[in-house]
Structure 1
């Protein structure tokens, strides 16, 4: 046959006379690479320009909202800035500070503060003595009255006690309500004799931005967010607080029992965001994201605009109020990014359409070159085909001659194989006949020995005149003769495959018959039979599916082997021979175990115990077929025969058969 590589001569560019294919080459790959590079460049530029324009528009609208929010908050603070000073100028307030224990003056100031607080619409207005104790308050008659509370620990009182205006945002320790505190010192004779305080509720401000998608928050001079349109961000910090500042918040009880923890607000830091910050974003403006609690990282941690987790925002911050507060207005970046993605996809689709047109033109030119190439290939293939046909014809003729020789050799081999098979069949028949003859001889040994024993006993009984006993022995001899006839009748199975006769057989009858046959050999042996005393199970005797003759044959072999074991040389002379037959009944099976107290089974013998012609007895005392035949019989009944060394010495053989629940026949 020609080598398969000959066909590649047409396709191999290195082969002589080969035709070169004008397929995709470096120029084609370069063209495709240029198209792909152009697509990537166009998508990148489109995305950057779209994000730049979107951020500029978003920054402008967010800055306008930030100015509006800041103006609203500052106007509210300015409106209440001079209220504590006006209250401190009232004569009744100064009179109370001069006589703080006078009930009439306390009542007059309380009424005055209630009227002022109602007209000004403040949360609370109260007067504190120089020692820090509240003397009068607008909520004096309410359950959470400020009267009698010590405020020396509050920073706004401490600053007012030094002659300065105190401004402070905190959660009330009495009312447990947050508010903005403005404290005005009351001076007399060049020293501070008391402080007037006005508390304002500013939670309306954070509700002003709650209905919008842009979060709004205000942080104090320490960076603690005390107003936020997002409830989860309130009382969080813009940055981790140092230990000394945490201790100060704890001592002043500014935020009462609130757990002040950092808000995971991280600046987006990447080459793209830095470029956007330099070209688009103004002062006090940055791109941030709010991650989940417990997320690792710190602000400025190398997080990109599109490859980060959490919510991304454009943050605009500005100072607000006289207390050093900072207000942040945050606008989501998702609409800007979505618009940029849409513009990028549109540009990519337009570029793809143009690229497809270019590819189509290039493919038309390529198809024209391919047609020319195919024509040249076809001519070359015709020439190669003629050459290969000639070579293949010569190879086929050689193969035919080789096949004819192989067919002749196979015909001769098959004739030799058939002759060998005929010889093997004849040898198998002779071996089977010999094995069966040996088995029948082995099985007849027990009945023949019993016949001799019964005949000797009968002669003795006749000499003694014991006719009844002799008659019983003669009946047993007749039964043995019939049984031997059944055994020899098994030779018929050699001529044909007759179905084995299987029916319900009573276990007690089989064991009794075996013990009767083995009675002469059992003389002087301790025999125990267990498990047959309570045979009535559901109104029927214990029975198994078997053939009574073959079942007795198996039990004869097992009992005979037990007798041989306890009569061997391995057992001590002072130890009496003992055989234990036990019947175990289960719902669907019956087990009969035969145990002796002989020397047991050697470990090297146990694996080969059921092999044909394997025996441990002396020559002439056994053929090694008893256990092999017994195993075959038990398997024929659908059961199992096992052997093991019993605990305490001796061997134990267990026959397990299927239980029969119908009335048993007489064995």
Structure 2
């Protein structure tokens, strides 16, 4: 026979209520959301009707305002003064034409009117008095000029290269004897329309055929594109100088959804400045568009939805608040009935708990003692008597110090001072606890080590304390064993430490010896390169020495003849040659010096030119062309002398590789480029390249790919260590066009200002 327990029934009832509450919550949320959406759609429909009327009005005003200027170039082209100025070009005719154009512009309220000759040069303009006058400027690159020169009326829109103002251009050819002798241009400034519609309840956009915002009530939206432009389209726009260097960026439309056949709801992400800080704000708009066929433009109105969204949010909050209040009132009624039932159950549970607590106290293994507010013993359980081994009835009414002796100071103040309680006690729970170690003492002075815990109990009518005693006999014995083990461990650690210090001293000595050996290897590599360059150096110094002897001999003859100017010129040549020889010798002296890597900012081009000067004698001797890229202004963090050594070594290896391929062209190129946060210096030769086996072992000490007897195989290994010490990398590869390429990568130098500056 299967029976259902009351606890199981209550659990099922709670589960059913939870599901019911969840269902009510979901229905309320769904009703709130759907009701808000319906109300929002109704309000957006009303806004759409108003926006449609505003769009038609705005388009008509803009189209009619610009259309009145389209025939002005035709009228001006037939003006006798314009034809006369273009044909004769007399200053008085041009001056009279300037004044007449100025007067026409003042009457028609056009932005600018100007006359171009057949070369595209402006000979007269309505703004001839202004500082940014068009007179003397050439606009032959503008499409409206090219169309008019072909005998047609032109139209164009662009950002003015001289006035830096956006405008729409109308042009027309000027004929004389059936021949085009010039072009008349009238520019309409669109800024005046933006000012007229700047303070409306909506925002407007005027889009060119490429979808770029050419005019807007919001200046920050200018030159933004609503769609996607290909690279070819962007290049075409840049070449036409239509927007004169303005960057074309995409308008940050993060959401777009059709509302009906003629309108869309869009969200635009914009920067908003509040209290000297910039934040991103998402704004919602209803967008409607229509074409302006006269201009081949499209005009759009963006009606803000912020007010509608705020009203819908308020409606949802009020509706949800009303439902929540009704639910809370219902819940309070249910809780009140439950509280009355639970109060009756709690009284019954209290009686059972009291009996249960009494049994727990009597049978617990820990010793328990209760004290009154004066810390005098009130009661105890059998476990305390078992710990001490004698009855405690005579101690009732005596202070706790008769039974328990603490190992700490402060028990004398325990009965009066509240600060004896542990500061780490969770006082937020209303509990105060004191823990101490000590001994339980009997009448025969026998002691038992215990841990005493005193807990304050706030009873309804009085203050009392509960004291718990735990036997610590085994724990004390363990502590003694641990203390002895710790002493033994410390002695072993001291002995091992002495051994490690001795080994560490020997290791530091070996490291110092290794560093000295490495410095000697680097210096040996330098001297080896210098030895290879000795013949070229002698040649470099021989030429200026020969020239010095010739200039000196001629100078003596000039002095004997009294030709002091010629003698002075010879002495200047001798001085210049001396400086040149000193520069060559100084470069080799710096290259040959010893030293450690000193990190600092160095110019890459300076290091390349220094290495080139060192290697140029050898390259001239064997007929190798050295091509150095022009200065890129790169600064790296490293050591100038050591970087020059690496470059000299790589240039020397490139020369050796080319000499082993006599049928190849003799050319070495040095390139430099930026890669991430590093500068890469590449040395490319036209030799036979490297084998796969050579690339694997190229940077190992004493490995060489040269012919037998050439090189020690240490140059690249030392170069790799130098570059590693400067925080860089060196790698080798074969070029697809033939030859090998060695690339040195070093970190860019970043200036770090000193603290306090």
TM-score (norm 1): 0.49
Q: Which has the larger radius of gyration?
A: 1
Q: Which has the higher strand share?
A: 2
Higher relative contact order (CA 8 A, sep 6+): 1
